[in-house]
């Protein structure tokens, strides 16, 4: 049985075993350039971030610009207009206030290389906390796990202003 001969989608030359759709990068660019200029292929869409209308030949396009695409893919904490160190400080202060309201004595580390961010004492028990900023993705809380030195983690999600403690047993 003779193998099926495939042709380039742009110039219709025969393809070798390693080529799938186009015979060269020039043909790939030319084909997609023609397709993007075709008035029939344009779809009217609404940007998922800024809600502006835009047209695209890509059926799965969600964003009107690179700026909106970057905003969409950034975690919640980076959308703030303050430095990331300040976001961490705000998180630590919010966790400290929350623990104080729950009846703990709270001590905050002064050194960035301390073994924990917060020490909390209650009924003679000492709890070490590492505070992390997290965000939701597919109904799960994601946060950085590198350099965690403390056994307890407090994750603050700024999208809904909630504090999540791991493990949850002692709170």
The architecture that CATH gives domain 78-166 is 3-Layer(aba) Sandwich (3.40)
Asked whether the predicted pLDDT for residue 151 surpasses 80, the reply is: yes
pLDDT at 131 (0 to 100): 93
124 torsion bin: left (phi>0), alpha (psi -120 to 50), beta (else): left
Asked whether the predicted pLDDT for residue 155 surpasses 60, the reply is: yes
pLDDT at 168 (0 to 100): 76
- Locate the domains of the chain by residue range: 1-37, 42-73, 78-166
pLDDT at 2 (0 to 100): 56
Distance CA 77, CA 114 (A): 23
CA 55 to chain centre: 25
Distance CA 56, CA 41 (A): 8
56 and 45 Cβ atoms separated by less than 8 Å: yes
Helices vs strands, H then E, count in the chain? 3, 8
The structure tokens listed for 19 are: 């080529």
pLDDT digits (tens, 9 = 90+) for 64-107: 998 888 877 776 545 556 777 788 888 999 999 999 999 999 99
pLDDT digits (tens, 9 = 90+) for 21-69: 888 889 988 887 776 666 666 788 899 889 999 988 777 888 899 888 8
Strands (E), the chain: 43-46, 53-56, 105-108, 118-122, 125-137, 140-143, 152-157, 162-166
pTM over 0.85: no
Per-residue pLDDT band for 170 (boundaries 50, 70, 90) equals low
């Amino acid at each position: 049985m003779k193998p099926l001969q495939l042709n380039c989608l742009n110039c219709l030359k025969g393809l070798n075993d390693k080529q799938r759709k186009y015979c060269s990068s020039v043909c790939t660019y030319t084909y997609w350039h023609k397709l993007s200029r075709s008035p029939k292929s344009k779809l009217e869409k609404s940007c998922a971030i800024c809600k502006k209308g835009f047209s695209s030949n890509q059926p799965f396009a969600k964003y009107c610009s690179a700026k909106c695409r970057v905003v969409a893919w950034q975690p919640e904490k980076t959308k703030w207009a303050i430095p990331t160190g300040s976001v961490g400080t705000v998180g630590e202060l919010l966790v400290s206030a929350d623990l104080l309201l729950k009846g703990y004595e709270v001590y905050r580390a002064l050194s960035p290389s301390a073994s924990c961010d917060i020490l909390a004492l209650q009924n003679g028990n000492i709890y070490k906390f590492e505070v992390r900023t997290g965000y939701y993705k597919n109904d799960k809380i994601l946060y950085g796990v590198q350099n965690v030195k403390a056994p307890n983690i407090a994750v603050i999600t700024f999208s809904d202003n909630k504090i999540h403690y791991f493990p949850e047993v002692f709170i």
